[in-house]
Amino acid sequence: MTFNDLKLIPEILKALSNENYTAPTPIQEQSIPAVLEGRDLLGCAQTGTGKTAAFSLPIIQLLSAQKSKPSTIRRIRSLILTPTRELALQISDNIQAYSKFTDLRCTAIVGGVSQKVQERALNNGADIIIATPGRLIDLINQKRIDLQHVQILVLDEADRMLDMGFIHDVKRIITKMPAKRQTLFFSATMPPEITKMVKTLLNNPVKVEITPVSSTVDRITQSLYMVDKANKQKQLNHLLQDESIVSALVFTRTKHGADRVVRELDKVKIPAQAIHGNKSQNARQLALSNFRSGVTRVLVATDIAARGIDIDELSHVINFNLPNIPETYVHRIGRTGRAGLSGVAISFCEHEEIPFLKDIEKLIGKTIPEVKDNPFPMLITTEPVKKAALGSSKAAVSKPSNPKANPTRKPKSEWFTKGSKSGGNSSSRPSGNSSRPSSRPTSKPSR
Ligand code: AMP
């Protein structure tokens, strides 16, 4: 299939050709015709699948078909809500590129930067705004934004908005726009609150589920180092001696952890910068552009800050800490292997993270190969993993490997299809204890 087959207007086709897109991705193939017909959409696809163009191309086409007189005031006709600033800015950049040959204007409304520039853009008129909930509410309260003319609403990464505590803001924002509108809703998981929102917001939606979690990660080469917590930094320094690691996005659990890793890398002269919520928006943007341009080789990030970061040709993702929510692992490693490229994901697993590893392997349906040639092998311990040591993750403590035990984190591969594609082949290891291969700890972490 080509973009021509999707009946896109010449202005968009020209922009896509400028971007060197030759063929639509599966989510684009399925979503664009439905959105052009005016249908509501419920989409399950992660970043890296071409999701942004899937919703923004038809929005551009629908809005630019509505010819307005030059004298008419420009109204906000589409609102795209996203959980993070980075994602909003990235979507805004994409829409600018895709709408370059139309007369539409779009602007990002995000916190962490001066409001003045955004006020100016709004005063000049915007057809599409891409916003994070906090700043948008501020501007609505100041009566600088009127959503009464919104025809198309996009809720992107709705489950993340819930995780980040934005759901009440989102609900308030929705009351400020007309009930009669087209709504495009994207979420990777379907906790009950999100299901409720879907039922109230969407009218007979077209459902699009792209590559389930397990197959999305297939093209990424994954490997695992079982390593003691105290040796993780040495392990990372050692790994980064390998110059074939051109650009690495390193994930840590905490902001302080990210700063610590950067300081330690600095000591061994490996250029690195951290990106997390304690950094100003300008510092984050600078860290990102340094990383994109190759000034820094390593970007160290927490999950929330890294959400939606779009870096083409990222060669490696390194999990300094394993995430306690298995879907987060998939989101993280999906930062590499973009748009059909192959990528490498390396994970460090300390003893206390073994339950997280088991959940991840269950979700992706395979065992992550362990690197045997490990200069810092984990010392075999018989200490049981204390539940408290697993942090606040309900997912880990309440045996998320059984989705019924934790209905709020239903794997997305089970969302639209009945048969679980993610259940996987981890049956070779009994569930409920850590029967890792012999080089791994022999203890039984309680879960
Ligand atoms: P997204 O999932 O929207 O974050 O897109 C992931 C990456 O794929 C971005 O770098 C896009 O620019 C790129 N992309 C999106 N659609 C296409 C396409 N049809 N062909 C090639 N690259 C694309």
Choosing from 5, 22, 25, 156 the residue with most ligand 1 atoms within 8 A of its CB, the one to mutate for a pocket test is: 25
Q: What is the pLDDT of residue 314?
A: 78
Q: What is the pLDDT of residue 69?
A: 64
CA of 338 to the centre of ligand 1 (A): 8
Taking 50 as the threshold, does the pLDDT of residue 412 lie above it? no
- Region of poorest pLDDT, from 109-123, 155-169, 412-426: 412-426
Q: Which residues contact 408 (CB under 8 A, 6 or more apart)?
A: 191, 192
Percent of the chain residues topping a pLDDT of 70 = 78
Are the CB atoms for 103 and 65 separated by under 8 Å?
no
SS (H, E, C) the chain: CCCHHHCCCHHHHHHHHHCCCCCCCHHHHHHHHHHHCCCCEEEECCCCCCHHHHHHHHHHHHHHHCCCCCCCCCCCCEEEECCCHHHHHHHHHHHHHHCCCCCCCEEEECCCCCHHHHHHHHHHCCCEEEECHHHHHHHHHCCCCCCCCCCEEEECCHHHHHHCCCHHHHHHHHHCCCCCCEEEEECCCCCHHHHHHHHHHCCCCEEEECCCHHHHHHHEEEEEEECCHHHHHHHHHHHCCCCCCCCEEEECCCHHHHHHHHHHHHHCCCCEEEECCCCCHHHHHHHHHHHHHCCCCEEEECHHHHCCCCCCCCCEEEECCCCCCHHHHHHHHCCCCHHHCCEEEEEEECHHHHHHHHHHHHHHCCCCCECCCCCCCCCCCCCCCCHHHHCCCHHHHCCCCCHHHCHHHCCHHHCCCCCCCCCCCHHHCCCCCCCCCCCCCCCCCCC
CA of 87 to the centre of ligand 1 (A): 14
CA of 46 to the centre of ligand 1 (A): 11
Q: What is the pLDDT of residue 441?
A: 40
Q: What is the mean pLDDT of residues 185-213?
A: 84
Q: What is the pLDDT of residue 226?
A: 96
In angstroms, rounded to a whole number, what is the distance separating the alpha carbons of residues 437 and 417?
Answer: 33
Task: Write the pLDDT tens digit of every residue in 62-110.
Answer: 999 997 666 678 899 999 999 989 889 999 999 999 999 999 999 999 9
- Region of poorest pLDDT, from 31-45, 86-100, 123-137, 186-200: 186-200
* Of residues 280 and 267, more confidently modeled: 267
CA of 204 to the centre of ligand 1 (A): 27
- Region of poorest pLDDT, from 46-60, 158-172, 369-383: 369-383
CATH topology of domain 3-211: Rossmann fold (3.40.50)
Taking 80 as the threshold, does the pLDDT of residue 385 lie above it? no
Are the CB atoms for 76 and 123 separated by under 8 Å?
no
Task: Write the pLDDT tens digit of every residue in 312-371.
Answer: 667 899 999 999 888 788 878 877 766 555 689 999 999 999 999 999 988 887 899 999
Q: What is the pLDDT of residue 339?
A: 55
The two tokens of residue 429 are 């290891």
In angstroms, rounded to a whole number, what is the distance separating the alpha carbons of residues 286 and 290?
Answer: 6
10 Å CB burial of residue 8 (0-12, 13-18, 19+) is buried
Taking 70 as the threshold, does the pLDDT of residue 151 lie above it? yes
Determine the atom of ligand 1 nearest the C-alpha atom of 90.
4
- Which residue is closest in CA terms to ligand 1's atom 1? 50
In angstroms, rounded to a whole number, what is the distance separating the alpha carbons of residues 432 and 416?
Answer: 27
Q: Which residues contact 290 (CB under 8 A, 6 or more apart)?
A: 273, 296
* Residues near ligand 1 (Cβ within 6 A): 21, 24-25, 28, 47-53, 310, 312, 338-339
- Which residue is closest in CA terms to ligand 1's atom 5? 50
- Region of poorest pLDDT, from 30-39, 251-260, 295-304, 435-444: 435-444
Taking 60 as the threshold, does the pLDDT of residue 436 lie above it? no
Taking 90 as the threshold, does the pLDDT of residue 422 lie above it? no
Task: Write the pLDDT tens digit of every residue in 277-320.
Answer: 777 778 888 888 898 888 899 999 987 777 656 666 678 999 99
**Bridge partners of residue 318, in order along the sequence:** 250, 346
Q: What is the mean pLDDT of residues 272-281?
A: 83
Per-residue confidence band for 261, with pLDDT thresholds at 50, 70 and 90 = very high
**CATH class (in words) of the domain with range 214-364:** alpha beta
Are the CB atoms for 302 and 284 separated by under 8 Å?
no
- Which residue is closest in CA terms to ligand 1's atom 7? 48
Q: What is the pTM of this model?
A: 0.59
What does pLDDT average to over the chain?
81
* Of residues 69 and 432, more confidently modeled: 69
Q: What is the pLDDT of residue 397?
A: 28
Q: What is the pLDDT of residue 68?
A: 67
CA of 2 to the centre of ligand 1 (A): 15
Q: Where in the chain is the domain with CATH 3.40.50.300?
A: 3-211, 214-364
The letter for the amino acid at 98 is Y
Per-residue confidence band for 440, with pLDDT thresholds at 50, 70 and 90 = very low
* Of residues 396 and 382, more confidently modeled: 382
Are the CB atoms for 276 and 255 separated by under 8 Å?
yes
Task: Write the pLDDT tens digit of every residue in 206-236.
Answer: 999 875 544 556 678 999 999 999 999 999 9
